[in-house]
Amino acid sequence: MIEVLVADITTLQVDAIVNAANRSLLGGGGVDGAIHRVAGPELLKACRALHGCATGEARVTPAFRLPARWVIHTVGPVWHGGQQREAQLLENCYRNSLELALENNAETIAFPAISTGVYGYPKKQAVAIACGLMQEYAPRFKSIVACCFSEEDAVLYRQAIGGDI
Ligand code: APR
């Protein structure tokens, strides 16, 4: 099942939440900053041990003080106009995160709108990619949550899942 919520992803009691990280995995602003703030210092320690992550790849850590069990850190592409494999790299983020969640027996997973904040990915295009992968993997999860940070984003996800986009 795919659910569209407007929420702070750090509050969700799902098996895995996905973090829109950067290649250092050492924290940042946006959802990355929120996840590290709530998870506590052990998360940064666990991330240091991973020695970074390439764009499009995903890494898993425990969630420590977060209500979730796992944090799956993925690094979205920075938008440079669409001619630098951004769409493929964003698709890789969703696919690699979903595969990693399955490897860790996660039955429920929540995604933020990867790359659509600081990284500037156009929302409609990013949402179409995200929803395509969520629909492809939906049969293998109890629930996949699109965790939006605004009602505006939630409308885009609902349209995409409803097939309007
Ligand atoms: N819960 C859910 N979604 C959130 C939250 C939150 N607490 N905070 C922000 N968001 C949303 C943003 O509104 C946006 O829709 O997450 C989406 C992704 O935005 P960013 O967090 O800016 O991530 P991204 O665009 O992928 O840029 C990644 O930003 O924070 C740094 O370290 C990070 O360098 C990396 C870059």
Residue ranges covered by each domain of the chain = 2-161
Q: Is it the case that residue 162 has pLDDT exceeding 80? A: yes
If we measure between CA atoms, which residue out of 121, 114, 16, 11 comes closest to residue 59? 16
CA 139 to ligand 1 center in whole angstroms: 27
Does the beta carbon of 40 lie inside 6 Å of ligand 1? Answer: no
Helix (H) or strand (E) holding 2: strand 2-6
**Average pLDDT in the 148-153 region?**
98
Banded pLDDT at 30 (limits 50, 70, 90): very high
Q: Is it the case that residue 144 has pLDDT exceeding 80? A: yes
**Are the C-beta atoms of residues 122 and 79 closer than 8 Å to each other?**
yes
Q: Which amino acid is at 54?
A: A
Question: Tens digit of pLDDT for each residue in 70-104?
Answer: 999 999 999 999 999 999 999 999 999 999 999 99
The residue to mutate among 14, 31, 94, having the most atoms of ligand 1 within 8 angstroms of its beta carbon, is: 31
CA 114 to ligand 1 center in whole angstroms: 7
Residue-level pLDDT at 163 = 62
Residue-level pLDDT at 60 = 98
CA–CA dist 142, 82 (Å, integer): 33
32 is catalytic: yes
Question: Tens digit of pLDDT for each residue in 96-141?
Answer: 999 999 999 999 999 999 999 999 999 999 999 999 999 999 999 9
Weakest mean pLDDT among 56-65, 113-122, 154-163: 154-163
For tokens 């179409």, name the residue: 128
Mean pLDDT of all residues belonging to the chain? 97
Banded pLDDT at 165 (limits 50, 70, 90): very low
- Which CATH number is correct for 2-161, 2.40.50.100, 3.40.220.10, 3.20.20.30, 3.40.50.2300? 3.40.220.10
**Are the C-beta atoms of residues 142 and 3 closer than 8 Å to each other?**
no
Does the beta carbon of 6 lie inside 6 Å of ligand 1? Answer: no
CA 35 to ligand 1 center in whole angstroms: 10
